[in-house]
A and B are shown apart, each in its own frame.
Chain A
Amino acid sequence: DIVMTQSPSSLAMSVGQKVTMSCKSSQSLLNSSNQKNYLAWYQQKPGQSPKLLVYFASTRESGVPDRFIGSGSGTDFTLTISSVQAEDLADYFCQQHYSTPRTFGGGTKLEIK
């Protein structure tokens, strides 16, 4: 199984600040045939279901604000929120969609100061 490791486990930021969080996989998520990285990011607000933000490491899902930016390749990935808003209070999970079993990182909890 591919192990996904996220860091930090939590962080607290002020509105308007830039936020970065990391996700590392135990093996490469790069598909050499199409040069795509099979890494997705989800946002889960308190009491809600997860919501897909990004897939293929950097492709934003339709309707997701452009302040959410996914980057990285191979085994190292980053989700950046360029200017955090109060409504971004949530847990963020990465997930590899490269192989089964699909696996998730342990999550990063974002708190707003």
Chain B
Amino acid sequence: QVQLQQSGAELARPGASVKLSCKASGYTFTDYYINWVKQRTGQGLEWIGEIYPGSGNTYYNEKFKGKATLTADKSSSTAYMQLSSLTSEDSAVYFCARNGNYAVFAYWGQGTLVTVSA
């Protein structure tokens, strides 16, 4: 079965960077987009961007350009998202999610909590 296993919670200082991971299993990693979604506590969902591991092509929400960098390692079936120049506005849960067949998010990781604090 399809599974997305995300890395553990992060505590980071303002101005620092963090790199989150999302390890995929149960399907051919290179065949489906991996998306990243942000959710601040008690709030809605924001799409950050997506990566197609087969080619490495990425598409970003303009709002997150310069903030998030998406990469993928085919050898380990793992997608990564690096968040840079962290501020308190970046404190949130970040989900990775795999597309189904129609650009909807059919499978989700369990989420990674990022806390930015001095």
Chain A residues proximal to chain B, CB less than 8 Å = 38, 40, 42, 49-52, 55-56, 61, 93, 95, 97, 100-107
Question: Can you list 14 pairs linking A and B with CB atoms under 8 Å apart?
Answer: A38-B103, A42-B105, A49-B108, A49-B111, A50-B97, A50-B105, A52-B100, A52-B104, A55-B100, A56-B102, A100-B59, A102-B47, A106-B44, A107-B45
Residue among B44, B95, B100 with the most chain A CB within 10 A?
B44
Q: In residues 91-118 of chain B, which contact A (Cβ within 8 Å)? A: 95, 97, 100, 102-106, 108-111
A93 and B97 alpha carbons, distance in the complex (Å): 15
Question: B99: shortest Cβ distance to chain A, in Å?
Answer: 9
Q: Is the CB of B44 within 8 A of A93?
A: yes
Can you name 11 extra interface pairs (CB under 8 A) apart from A55-B100, A100-B59? A49-B95, A55-B104, A93-B44, A93-B45, A97-B103, A97-B104, A101-B47, A102-B35, A102-B103, A104-B46, A107-B44
Residues of chain A within 8 A (CB-CB) of B45 are 50, 93, 95, 104, 107
Instruction: Please classify the interface of chain A as helix (H, G, I), strand (E, B), loop, or mixed, using the class held by over half of its residues.
Output: loop
Question: A25: shortest Cβ distance to chain B, in Å?
Answer: 15
Q: How many residues of B contact A (CB 8 A)?
A: 21
**Interface assignment of B82: CB less than 8 Å from any CB of chain A:** no
Q: Is the CB of A101 within 8 A of B104?
A: no
A103 and B63 alpha carbons, distance in the complex (Å): 12
Question: What is the number of contacts between chain A and chain B, taking CB atoms within 8 Å?
Answer: 51
A51 and B105 alpha carbons, distance in the complex (Å): 8
Q: Is the CB of A105 within 8 A of B103?
A: no
Q: Is the CB of A61 within 8 A of B106?
A: yes
**Interface assignment of B61: CB less than 8 Å from any CB of chain A:** yes
Residues of chain A within 8 A (CB-CB) of B111 are 49
Q: Is the CB of B95 within 8 A of A50?
A: yes
B36-62 CB mask vs A (1 if < 8 Å, else 0) is: 000000001111000000000001011
Residues of chain A within 8 A (CB-CB) of B47 are 101-104
